[in-house]
Structure 1
Amino acid sequence: MLAVLKTVLVVEDDHDIRELIVFILEAEGYEVASLDSGREVMLTVQRTSPDMLLLDVRLGDMDGRDICKALKSSPATSQMPVMIVSATHGWGTRHEKQCMADDYLAKPFDVTDLLVRVSDLVNRASA
């Protein structure tokens, strides 16, 4: 269990994947909030101030890279770590780099890899 409860906001439109990520992170001791679309991300981030954001690229209503870029461009949220999650393999296109994400995780993902990366980003944010 974590000494200080860290909060992760998970934004994933696939119900099963979202619930799996929430379950894994809660079992590891994180406080987890989740959304199934992009339209509420900015408001939720302002309201809850999560320690990090785990963000799917292809949401039904928005492109996660656009959300990431907006967060990273705002002084209020620019320091919040963002991990992009996508079934599209091969991170590195110009558009993807422009979103300024802190990390990228390909689906399907390894649970251990997910936990290591989340821990790294949460710890980096609180350092």
Structure 2
Amino acid sequence: MNKKILIVDDNVLITEVMSYILTSNGYDVITLNQGAAAVMKINATHPDLVIMDISMPDADGREICRIIKRNKATADLPVIICSSNDDIALTLQQDGPPNDILSKPFDMAVLLDKVGHQLAA
């Protein structure tokens, strides 16, 4: 059975590109363009990994990550936060930090490496 990845980003182009790369490499992908619905989607689909934008108009990716990591049912779910901001390193110091960070724009090989690493852990 293929690993299931949930991509949460308000930028449709980003979700389409990531989805194409990941499905081409054997992963099952679910996309969501509304951050506010992320936790509900996680509970409904039970992904193996979440890749999420840090800044969306309707939700803060850091706060969603905190919610995921504080919930006993989802605390072990790996989360990769994406951002184009240079100060993203502060996100790793937050309460309920993500498992990894992906800088935008991203390189396909880096994306696949980070995904493979998180799913192997």
Tell me the secondary structure at the aligned position of residue 114 of structure 2.
helix
Instruction: Say yes or no: does 1:65 pair with 2:62.
Output: yes
Which residues in structure 2 correspond to 1:34-73 (within 5 Å)?
Answer: 34-73=31-70
Structure 1 unaligned spans of 5+? none
Q: Contact 1:9 / 1:52 at 8 angstroms: preserved in 2? A: yes
Shift in Å, 1:92: 2.3
Q: Distance in 1 between matches of 2:73 and 2:56?
A: 23
The count of corresponding residues between Structure 1 and Structure 2 is 120
Aligned twin of 1:97: 93
Tell me the secondary structure at the aligned position of residue 101 of structure 1.
coil
Identity between Structure 1 and Structure 2 (%): 33
1:78 is matched with which residue: 40, 52, 75? 75
**Amino acid of the residue matched to residue 54 of structure 1?**
I
TM-score (norm 2): 0.94
**Per-residue CA shift, 1:9-46, capped at 9, x if unaligned?**
00011111110001100000100001001121111111
**Amino acid of the residue matched to residue 59 of structure 2?**
M
Aligned twin of 1:32: 29
Which residues in structure 2 correspond to 1:12-31 (within 5 Å)?
Answer: 12-31=9-28
Shifted more, 108-117 versus 39-48: the winner is: 39-48
Give the helix-richer structure, 1 or 2.
2
**Amino acid of the residue matched to residue 71 of structure 1?**
I
Give the strand-richer structure, 1 or 2.
2
Q: Distance in 1 between matches of 2:87 and 2:117?
A: 21
Shift in Å, 1:122: 1.0
TM-score (norm 1): 0.90
After superposing on structure 2, the runs of 4+ consecutive aligned residues of structure 1 that deviate more than 6 Å are none
Structure 2 unaligned spans of 5+? none
